[in-house]
Structure formats: C-alpha cells, structure tokens
Structure 1
C-alpha cells in the first residue's frame, strides 16, 4: 500500500503537518517511536521522579515499556539533554510558551541592531512572510495571554522597575516585558479559584487549574475530553485534530497514527535523473517486527537529534557535510531570588511572564516543584559555591560567586519551601557553529542502528553568545533585586539542552544548510523536514515551538500545493481551533 504522505515523529512539528494534510483529504501515516499516552490520568502521576527520571520516567527518550532501558545517546560533555519521546514529544514537557522569533534572524532585516544577530545564518525568507503562519497556529492551538498569579506579579513588578516598556503586540520590536503568550487555556469556572479536587472536574472547571506541574505533562482538568486539557501540547491539540479530521473538516480524512513504531530507514529511488524519497522502514518496538511502506512524500520530524541520526543511518546524501551540524540551543542559565514573602512559585502556569531583549535573548519566570527546584540549583559549570571552582566562579551583582548550591546552603534556601523563591530562566541567542552537531556514535549500535552522538563544545561559543549570556544574567539579577529579593543566586548552568534546533537547518546558502527555503532537502526530492532541526538558527533566544509549528504549517501547504495540486489555505481559510466541540464529540 502506498500512502500520500508519511510523517516520521509525533512531537512538536509532525502532527502539524499530519493534521493540515489530513484536513484536506490526504492519506497520512504518522509514525512515532515512543508511547501513545492515551489516558494520562490512569498512566501518569504528579510524582516528580516518576515523570522526570531520564532512565525510567514516563517522559523520557525510550520505549513505552518502562522496564526496558532508555534509548542510548552518547553525550561526551558535561550537560543534560531534556527531551521526551512519545506522541507529543518534548511538548509533553514544555511550558506552552509561544512567543514569535525576533525579526533580526530573518532575511532582509535592516534594523539598527542588525550586527547583534548571526546574519550569515538567517532564515531564507523575511519575517513578514512567516506572520500569516504564526497567526494560523496561534488561532489553532489556541495561543492566549497567560493567566497571571502571584509569581507573575512579583516578576512583572521587577521588570517594570528595570525601566523597559510593556509589550502590547505579538511582534517583539524592542526591549520590553509582558505576560507570556502561551498555549495554555485560560482558567474558567472553578479553575484557579480553588484547590479542592472535587471542584476541579470538567465542565465545572475549564482550562488551567493552577496545579503547577506543567513539566510533567498536562491532564487537567479532570474528566475533560483530550482536546480540552489545559496545556496545548500536540497530544492535546494537533493529534486529536488529526485523528478526527472528518468530524470538523468537509474533506477530512483521519490520520493513521502508529506509536511504538521507530523508523530506521528512509528509502529512495532514482527518477528522471533525481534522487526521490519513496518510503520508510520502521520497527515495532513491542514485537520487534519490521515493516515497510511507500509514500509520495516523506516528512522527517523526529527532532534535532533523531532526524540527523535517521538521515545518516539511511545513507542519504550529505555533500556539504552539514547534516547534523549547526546544533544550536539557548545557552541557558538560571538565577534564583530568595524572598521574605510568598512568591507563589509553585502555583499556576509554570512560566507566564517574560522580558525580551532583542539582540541578546530573553528572561522568563519559571515555577518548579521541589525536586526540580533542587536540581536546577545544583547544576553548574562553576563547581560548588564556597567549596571549589572549575576555573569560572563568575562574579557579578548576584550574592557570592556562581556555583552549585548543595548541603546546608540548599537546605536553608528551600527551608521555607519553593514559594519563597522566584526563578528567572535566561535564554541566550546562540550563533550557528559547525562544531556543535549530532552525528553517529562509535559505540555499539542498538536495535535501530548506530546511536546518536551529541557533540556540544559549550566552552567554544562565539564571543557574541558569551557576552549576551552575561548581559542577561545581570539583567535577571537586577530584576530580582528590584522585585525585593533578599538574596540572589546565579548558577552558571552546565548545558541544559531543552531548546535545541538547527541540525538540519534551512539556509541562505547551499554551502552550510541542508534544506532550501521550502524545507525540502537540497539533495533528495519529496523529502521534507518539519521539526526544530529545520530552523535556520536559534531565533535570537525566544522559545522555538511556535516558530517550528508555523514553519511546519508552511511546509504542509507547500506539499499540498506542489505535490497534490491543492491550493494555498493560509489566508484563504479560517483556522479551526483545536478546542472545537466537534473534536471533543468525536474523541
């Protein structure tokens, strides 16, 4: 059997392509190597280790059978790659933050701060060309202004005292602060008004219930249909839409979704003098059986690490050597303030306020449950505060030198609970550099082929990236001081890789990119990429998921028009929100 389209990966981008093409009547097969969490209230818990343990947690990179080991990735550096396999991918973890990218990372930008961006590795089209696709995704998820609580009041009060203006548009044009635009439904009914579980059931409660466990997947409010869960991870938004396409689209055809189906090879053939993608082979991770299926178009959306791995294991062309290269992140850092009053750090959407500094990056408030709070304060490249240094020990307006907080100092910091703390996450714009890459390891292969090796030489960042991180750390510290913090820690985090991109980047030049401006491979026709790896760069610092999904929508439209004789739909049709009652009824 030959499909119209095969999509490999059901994380942030794959379900977007699958949903858009299925809505227009195409036969789409969506393959995911990890689990399908069909009933989270019965499968998940709010216990932090149960969710977040990278070896055994239900949000890990590994098979659905948690008795089996995680999938091996070689990471020969001090760091931690925070990702999840399964339907929803790492959007199961994400906080729903959905800002647009900075204008300076796109072709044709002429602003006064142009020199602050990696313009050699810009997107090969203008920002304005992507805006209609942003708007389509924002209406579909939907993206809304985040619900505000105590920690947002504290954060935004400090931001106001920095002397920067409030941002009132979705486009970021200058240094500013604002509530997040996030993909979390606003609380309604009893949600956000009570902590009594008996009154937090749908439909009495709708949207965010302020549980504070965004990092561990969303299953709130209780008894809600899957497409009404508060956080709009793709398993709660685009996947339900893809599976119920005939119910809400006049030409819709339901996507075939196969979880536990790990793709091991992309097949090609020579046609009319060109190399063309023809299908894939995948392995059922439960039975071990292998299957092959063909399609007119293949879309890779396995993520920034797995997509280049699949490409290289398939023996696909790599004439310029850039498959897997240019692996960017946001060179994160953490700053935490201690307060003598309640900050509400553990309550509400985990990240609902931000400051943007185009040319440098961004700051976000971050609420964490206790174990993840302790983890974040004990992650450093500077050694242990007051004990030893690793040659860094950065000094600045924070209290003391940077470093891990452990032992009595950590106990004292957490002694009054996490709701006396306020965390600020630093997201630094990261330049594209060839030595940062995902490649194949020399370790023994697993059942899916050679395992990936993530090479991230974090001490060889560009001078611009290093300077931007220090600038943002000082702004974060100043914000906390002005908000009333009595003590400020800066940690100088070791690489915590949770915003990773660009390993299969589209680009201006065929010399240093894998994809053209249409997200199609430069060397294999009918083979597209629709995950974070397709991004041309690190967006200047903003969270990547919204841009990946806007780009995936644009890619789906290109596929529909170019290969199936369809017409453009963005700007000509009205997007259907993923909360539409017809989807709820069909689930």
Structure 2
C-alpha cells in the first residue's frame, strides 16, 4: 500500500511527488511515456526529429519510437501540442513563469473587474496563492531572463506605444518587462561564445543561448541533470523527488516508473462515501498489467488524459462537468519583418512580454526555421491573397489575416530568421462548456480504453474572447511597427491547443466545477488533481505552468496535513532549490 500515487510526471505531478516524498511519505510517480534519461544522446536540434507527431521524441506515444503514437480524436482543424515522457509538456515549454493576474481570483475589486471571466473565478483570493508562487520561484528557481538583441527590439516597440516598465512579479496594470523564466542565468562561457567545444559544464553554466528551447534543453553538456539550464520538471522537481532523502532529513525517495500507462482508477464505498483505493497501469512493452493500492491518488496526466482517464474509469460525473471548460488562450501569431538583425534565433526563445490585464498578454517568441514556417502557415482564416473562410480580418497589420504560402512564405523565410520578430498573442479566453475533452465516439477502444476526443471549435468563441484577441493582435502589430518592422503579418491561428487548462476545473459551485477549493474531487474522497486541468480559468492570460506548480504545492500541503496528520511545513522552513548540490551528488 503506497501513501500517495501520482499519475503523470509532467508540469504538476512531480511537484506533488517531491513535496510529499520530502516529508517522508511513500510516493509512487507513474509516467506513461519515456524516461528521457540521457538527453545529450537521445535528443537533437532537428525539428522533425523532435516534433513529428507520428514518431518524434516529443509526441504522445510510448518510449519505443518505432511503435505507433497514441490516437487522439480531433474533429476540428487544430493541433494538440502535448508531450508524453518525464517532464511532459514542460519539455518543450520556454520556461516562461509569470504569475496569474489577480483579476482571475475571487474577491478581486479592481477597476477592470468586469473584463474578466468572473463567473469562473478561482474559489479563493489571489493573496492566498502568493506564498506558493514564492516557494516555487525559489525552488526552480525562476529568474529574470537575460536580455539580448531581440528583447531590445521588442522593448523599443513597447516604448513607442508608451507602455511603462513593470518591475514587480505581480501584475496590476498595462506594462512591459523581461520574462520571469525558469531558465538558469548564463555563467562562464555560456552566452559568450557559439563554439560548442567551450560550452561544457563547468566551464559553461546556465543558458548557452543556443536558441533551441522547443527541442528540449540539454545544455550545458556534461552538467548534472539538475543543473541543466531549463527548469522543465525532468531537470528540477523529478530529480528532487527521486533523491528526496538527499535534501530532506525526513524524506524518502519517490519511486518513478516510466512506460506505465494508467488505465483505471479504483474506488470503493466506505461509510456512504466513495473513496479512491488505487490504480491499474499497463507497461508499454505489453508484458504486465499492474495494480497498485494507495491511500491517496493524484491525477496529473494533463488536460486531455486526466479527464479521459476519469471518464474511462467510470468515476462520478453528476453535473457532466468532467472534461468541460477546456481553454487554450485562443493563441495567435503576429510576425514582423525587418531590414536589420533582430537576434531572433539567439538566447532563450522567449524572454520579454507585455501585460494587458483584462485582455491577456503578448510575448516575444523565437522559433527555429521549420517551426517558424509552420507557425506562419497554420490559420483559421484561409490563405493570404488567395481566399479566406469568411473570417479574414483587417487591422494594424498588412492586408488581411491568414496563412502565408508559396512565394510569400519563401520571401519571408529567405529574408532570414534573424530579420524577423514574432509575437505570441495569449488571450484571456472565457471558460466555455462546449470546449471539452470526452471519450471518442469515433475510434474503438484500445488496450488503454477509449481514446480522447478534443473538441475546441474556434468558430464558437464567446464575443468577449474574440474581442480580447483582436485587441491584443492589434497591439502586437503596433509594437512591431514601433520597433521598425517593414511589414507585419497576422496569421490568425486555428486552435493550437498548447496552453491547455481548466478541463477538470476547481470552483465554488459543484454545478460547474469538478474539484473543490482544495483540488480534491467532489464525489471521490482522497482523489486530487494537480495539473493544468485543475485551474479554474485561463488566469487572465498568463502562461499556466507556474500557477499549476504553485497550486500543486498547495495541494501537497493539503494532502499531508489532511490525510497524514502532518505539520505542512515541517522541515520546510525555507525552500530547497532544485539546483542544490546535494541533489547533484545523489544523482
């Protein structure tokens, strides 16, 4: 009998595992995908090798890349950019770690309150989460991103718009600032040379400015795993969890099992209440089916797999809220071309942002060439200059929104990756029940159960969501103009389901939420959720990972104090950084 079973080693699960193992509990951490033990040998900077959805090392599928990927049912024109494996989708994230906007929480009384989705606010105040933000920021650590040429170009555009500089982690008004990134600052030769022979640890430490954040971080070469630059959970919380006894005197190491696809969550009725009792998982070599019993189960398999597993397990869903309310920040992409070097390919991929509370945010984004070409040819409007789908828009950009193709795309790419600047629009989208994850009615059951169907119809967004996105796209175009762009393109992305959240949302009302204010499931005691799906809403726009990790820290405290009789902060008077040398020595 395990104390705690955590399903999923992505952005949130390892946080719970590390916090509870560090407090002395017996924790089993199950991950359906690959362990990624040796990124220096397993990963490359080739984009197709990383992102091919059929056999890329960053796909939704088993460790053995010769075996087929796992099926997802996607009825609309969309791309679900999830990753399986230790680290989950944090493997390709950019490390951006802003806090949520206070207006996304209960009790907010700011002048812009009406701009937020107040019907789906977090069921507690923003101030309650701040200590957990501070804790995670110290553990990862989160630091202000180093600045380079592309950030200077972005800042020039923001200054041309008259935006002020933000100097605090909390956002209370329109402003621009460097990113708060979970990427270690460059030291030694890092960031000072492109000579790969000089970029080995310990001569180089932290970010080496390689520009390939999306392909998974393996720099600097030869660094201990917990000192790799990007603080994806495979480099931060997972090493802490599996070496918990090395850094906490009461700790015991969590057990990590990979290639372990959970197919069933077990419950039983005790004293009139349904209580979780454990899980069953399949090993992906198809040799074994394993039953594990646990006193507490934490689902952290992501916004698609957590509701799929819930529904496939036949768990209670009295208000039909499981899987509903999926948000994706209604992302968009605005690109400017320049006649000067913007430095777009160098340094952390995204190191600057502008905040527009009530609308969302804009961040400078750097992509390698193939992903940049993909980003400009993925649209819900149609093809620029050829046809549109009745949704093409005019604004501060050139011409009508839409995808680039043919000679126009070639001309933009031939101008050079370092003579363009791309801005990601991140919208504060409303929680809408018709955007959801459910079991597929189309595909038959496989060895894991019914595949997930992801329904996110870009044509059925609320009027408020569309208005916010258009506002941000215009501000992004104006920033690029102010920075000196010669031409500006709005792509009007189709749903790129990347910043997914809220499909198992917490809330105050059982009629429109799955989890209570402690992230414990209604209807099943001792069952918690600790991934992006637990978030109550779209946070007002900011990237979701830091908030998920702060909420997971809070959830670990709830589990420890409620079900194991512990003082939540015993031996945790101050955070232990994931870069602690005791972890390096144990690894």
Q: Which sits farther off after the overlay, 354-363 or 572-581?
A: 572-581
In 2, the alpha carbon distance for the partners of 1:570 and 1:477 equals: 50
Name the structure 2 match of 1:542: 542
Name the structure 2 match of 1:343: 342
What is the Cα deviation at residue 413 of structure 1? Answer: 0.7
Say whether the 8 Å CA contact 2:379–2:493 is kept in structure 1. Answer: yes
In 2, the alpha carbon distance for the partners of 1:130 and 1:502 equals: 17
Name the structure 2 match of 1:295: 294
Name the structure 1 match of 2:494: 494
Secondary structure at the aligned position of 1:268 is classed as strand
Secondary structure at the aligned position of 1:177 is classed as strand
Q: Where does 1:255-294 land on structure 2 (aligned, <5 Å)?
A: 255-294=254-293
What is the Cα deviation at residue 382 of structure 1? Answer: 1.2
What is the Cα deviation at residue 287 of structure 1? Answer: 3.1
Secondary structure at the aligned position of 1:282 is classed as strand
Secondary structure at the aligned position of 2:371 is classed as helix
In 2, the alpha carbon distance for the partners of 1:416 and 1:109 equals: 47
Secondary structure at the aligned position of 1:56 is classed as coil
In 2, the alpha carbon distance for the partners of 1:237 and 1:511 equals: 37
Within the alignment, does 1:508 sit opposite 2:508 as a pair? yes
Within the alignment, does 1:430 sit opposite 2:417 as a pair? no
Q: Give the superposed CA RMSD.
A: 0.9
User: Could you list the per-position Cα deviations for residues 208-255 of structure 1 after superposition, in whole angstroms to 9, with x for gaps in the alignment?
Assistant: 000000001000000000000000000000000011111111111001
Within the alignment, does 1:27 sit opposite 2:26 as a pair? yes
Q: 1:575 to 1:191 in 2, by over 3 A?
A: same
Q: 1:508 to 1:571 in 2, by over 3 A?
A: farther
Within the alignment, does 1:159 sit opposite 2:162 as a pair? no
In 1, the alpha carbon distance for the partners of 2:349 and 2:126 equals: 29
What is the Cα deviation at residue 346 of structure 1? Answer: 0.7
TM norm structure 2: 0.99
Q: Where does 1:194-273 land on structure 2 (aligned, <5 Å)?
A: 194-273=193-272
Secondary structure at the aligned position of 2:296 is classed as strand
Name the structure 1 match of 2:145: 146
What is the Cα deviation at residue 570 of structure 1? Answer: 9.0
Name the structure 2 match of 1:317: 316
Q: Where does 1:38-437 land on structure 2 (aligned, <5 Å)?
A: 38-437=37-436
Say whether the 8 Å CA contact 2:23–2:571 is kept in structure 1. Answer: no
What is the Cα deviation at residue 571 of structure 1? Answer: 11
Name the structure 2 match of 1:557: 557
Secondary structure at the aligned position of 2:291 is classed as strand
What is the Cα deviation at residue 572 of structure 1? Answer: 6.1
What is the Cα deviation at residue 340 of structure 1? Answer: 0.2
Say whether the 8 Å CA contact 1:136–1:570 is kept in structure 2. Answer: no
In 1, the alpha carbon distance for the partners of 2:121 and 2:571 equals: 25
Say whether the 8 Å CA contact 2:345–2:417 is kept in structure 1. Answer: yes
* Runs of 4+ deviating beyond 6 Å: none
What is the Cα deviation at residue 416 of structure 1? Answer: 2.8
Say whether the 8 Å CA contact 1:123–1:506 is kept in structure 2. Answer: yes
What is the Cα deviation at residue 204 of structure 1? Answer: 0.3
Secondary structure at the aligned position of 1:157 is classed as helix
Name the structure 2 match of 1:522: 522
In 1, the alpha carbon distance for the partners of 2:27 and 2:94 equals: 28
Q: Which sits farther off after the overlay, 160-169 or 95-104?
A: 160-169
User: Could you list the per-position Cα deviations for residues 295-323 of structure 1 after superposition, in whole angstroms to 9, with x for gaps in the alignment?
Assistant: 10000000000000000010100001000
User: Could you list the per-position Cα deviations for residues 16-75 of structure 1 after superposition, in whole angstroms to 9, with x for gaps in the alignment?
Assistant: 000000001000000000000000011111111000111110001111111111110101
Say whether the 8 Å CA contact 1:337–1:486 is kept in structure 2. Answer: yes
What is the Cα deviation at residue 568 of structure 1? Answer: 2.2
In 2, the alpha carbon distance for the partners of 1:240 and 1:536 equals: 29
Secondary structure at the aligned position of 2:156 is classed as helix
Matched residues, number: 586
Where structure 1 has 5 or more consecutive residues not aligned to the other structure, the ranges are: none
Name the structure 1 match of 2:475: 475
What is the Cα deviation at residue 445 of structure 1? Answer: 1.2
Secondary structure at the aligned position of 1:424 is classed as strand
What is the Cα deviation at residue 552 of structure 1? Answer: 0.2
In 2, the alpha carbon distance for the partners of 1:346 and 1:447 equals: 42
In 2, the alpha carbon distance for the partners of 1:552 and 1:571 equals: 18
